[in-house]
Structure 1
Amino acid sequence: MYTTTVTQYEEKKEADRTLEKDVEPLPVPRERTPASQPIIWRNVIGIIVLHFLAVYGFVSGYRDAKFWTWIWNIAYGLTTGFGVTAGAHRLWAHKSYSAKIPLRIFLACLYCMAGQTRFYNWIRDHRTHHKYTETPADPHDATRGFFFSHIGWLMVKRHPAVKEYGSKVDMSDIVADPVLRFFDRYYEVIMVSLCFVLPILLPMLVWNETLFISVHAAFIRYVWSLHATFVVNSFAHMWGNRPYNRQVSTRGSHAGRVKPTENPTVSFFALGEGWHNYHHSFPWDYKAAELGAYGLNATTAFIELMALVGLAYNLKTPSKELVDRTTMKKGDGTNSLWGNHRH
């Protein structure tokens, strides 16, 4: 059973020593550094065109799409999500559990199906985000507003602090991973094949879907999956309660401003990644939440299923006592509801 592979950390110092060896290499900038961030017009135009095609395809073709085209794209989109949540995020970015080679290859394929960026870039950005949350060194700093943290950060060149501090993040484990080296080396070919070519061709070949419908359905699914990731950076840093840490961002002028929150709506769309106040308090927990309810944390169900069949192991989680101490000491006094089985 997977429960025999779960490691509970009783003391915060021990957890920090074991799981957070790469402490901040430089002091975080105390004030926002004025910097020029030119607009990347290629990205702006690409994002606008992509959204136009998705909206136009839906409005003009949703009545004509075959039943199995709907089922195929919904299932495909949900499945690709686990490549981001269980793969790039919880496995590789946070090392919250270990996975055997077959599972790592499977998750890498799912991640490529989602069509985001190379593994190295995604993981480096996410580790930088956790180290320097809501400072100029945060790639999608939520103190700059909803639009910037949601999608605007992809439309401008990086803030110099993001480049400076991101370059100091330890990525040696990612460089040493042969699975990630292979997929990053051939990322464009694998991503285009799995994210677009396969999901477009299969409906046309198997149930005679039209080219127009199949192409636009792929764009709709792709845009939807992107926003399911983006809402974690925006909504889950602005709206919700903070039962585990009311003062996650304590650095200089950023203290007491926008901070990660618990947001069940985000968790529903992001397969369990919306319990963000907990996640920033215990980023090495494989559940990314206290929830035992799979309805609002499907990624935890996936990881535990993989552990049950022997493909995942060494699932890391804090002890109840450690969580309770953190809640009492740092929380905002509210309860973490929506499936919480501890309080």
Structure 2
Amino acid sequence: MKEKEENSTKKEIEKRSVNWVLVLFYLYLHILGIAGMYFLFTKAKWITVFYLLFLVTMSSIALTAGVHRLYAHSTFAATSQLKLFIMLAHTLAGVGPIQDYVFWHRMHHLYYGTERDPYNHQKGFFYSHFISNILSTPSDIKEYGRDIDMRDVEADGYVWTQRKFYWILFIVFGLLLPINVPMEYWGESLVNSFLIIGATRLMITTNISWLVNSALLVWGLERGAKYPVDDNSVFFLSKSYWLNYHYQLPWDWKNDEFGTYERGFNTFIIKMWRELGLINEMKTTTSNEVRDALCKVAMSEMTLEEAKDELKRNAEAAAYKEKLMFHH
């Protein structure tokens, strides 16, 4: 019976054929984006360079600290003003609606490491980072996503607005306005603006969005690997087990997307939001609580899933208590 179910699963997965429209789109985007990088270093004005960095930074914050930690994993609660910023900055990134990203990312966590995982790390970095993003939607998508609870995201007004008017918002706010600004305010050429602020920017933000799903294969350590690492990657990559931890407790706000814990640029941004009063109910746990949970599992008092559920309930209670104390 089990073998029959596995064969059925593989059969459904095989129906995810290559979407050649997406292949052509990403091919042209990367060709134009690479050309834009050449123009960036040889012909663009310095203010255009800083403008590109600003736009990419805003988009990156929305993709990681915003959509990934806030919407996909509910690691904290945010004010309406911050949600508006995240929605607009995410639209600027040009990677599709927030709701779609959250759906597929939650699918990734639910079916992690199985044939149902849309970004299956078992198939290597190239599949996880690129191939998985050019495949068609599974033929049994309704059954495929039946266990994904999207009620919190679907009830969010900003997410609904973005999804309803995505292409209008993207074309105007995410494409035409950013490209027009350099030409209008500091006399940048149309070619430079289109290639750099259009193609190169979207190429970078697209890959940042993909990296959130494939980051474990870059910054993560394989099971049994030595830590700290003893190869040359230590000089340019912060390899650790924290990304493995993220797949066990994805609701911990301190876990960075790219290999660190309670450090990194995006975590710093979240801390800033907290100081500005833009977020609350920040869920996390401690080493002692994790150790106690693992002890209960080792003593057969509960399963690993039950232990993780208990950790989450305790984290939610502590986060809400902290919120009440802050308001008091």
Answer whether TM exceeds 0.5 for this pair: yes
Matched, 1:217 2:228: no
Paired residues for 1:242-321 under 5 Å: 246=223, 275-289=242-256, 291-293=261-263, 297-321=264-288
**2:175 counterpart residue number:** 196
Matched, 1:118 2:118: no
Tell me which amino acid in the other structure corresponds to 1:153: S
- Kept in 1: contact 2:95–2:209 (CA 8 A): no
Instruction: With the length of structure 1 as denominator, give the TM-score of the two structures.
Output: 0.73
- Kept in 2: contact 1:57–1:213 (CA 8 A): yes
CA separation in 2, counterparts of 1:231 and 1:266?
14
| Matched residue SS, 2:33 | helix
Deviates more, 1:233-242 or 1:168-177: 233-242
- Kept in 2: contact 1:232–1:266 (CA 8 A): no
The structural deviation recorded for 1:229 is 2.5
**1:40 counterpart residue number:** 19
Q: Deviations over 1:104-135 (max 9, x none)?
A: 11111111111111111110101111111121
Q: Count matched residues.
A: 278
The structural deviation recorded for 1:78 is 1.1
CA separation in 1, counterparts of 2:267 and 2:92?
20
Larger fraction in helix: 2
The structural deviation recorded for 1:212 is 0.2
Tell me which amino acid in the other structure corresponds to 2:271: E
Identity, in percent, stands at: 28
**1:97 counterpart residue number:** 76
CA separation in 1, counterparts of 2:88 and 2:293?
37
- Select the structure of larger CA radius of gyration: 2
CA separation in 2, counterparts of 1:275 and 1:195?
33
Could you say if the C-alpha distance between residues 190 and 136 of structure 1 is closer, same or farther in structure 2, counting changes exceeding 3 Å? same
CA separation in 1, counterparts of 2:293 and 2:24?
45
The structural deviation recorded for 1:143 is 1.7
Paired residues for 1:1-343 under 5 Å: 33-34=10-11, 35-60=14-39, 62-159=41-138, 164-218=143-197, 219-237=199-217, 240-241=220-221, 246=223, 275-289=242-256, 291-293=261-263, 297-324=264-291
CA separation in 2, counterparts of 1:241 and 1:182?
39
Tell me which amino acid in the other structure corresponds to 1:110: A
Could you say if the C-alpha distance between residues 72 and 326 of structure 1 is closer, same or farther in structure 2, counting changes exceeding 3 Å? farther
- Kept in 2: contact 1:113–1:191 (CA 8 A): yes
Could you say if the C-alpha distance between residues 61 and 123 of structure 1 is closer, same or farther in structure 2, counting changes exceeding 3 Å? closer
Whose RCO is larger (CA < 8 A, sep 6+)? 1
| Matched residue SS, 2:89 | helix
The structural deviation recorded for 1:101 is 0.7
The structural deviation recorded for 1:266 is 6.9
CA RMSD of aligned residues (A): 2.9
Could you say if the C-alpha distance between residues 100 and 277 of structure 1 is closer, same or farther in structure 2, counting changes exceeding 3 Å? same
Q: Deviations over 1:284-330 (max 9, x none)?
A: 0111257333xxx2121111111111111111101221344578989
- Kept in 1: contact 2:220–2:241 (CA 8 A): no
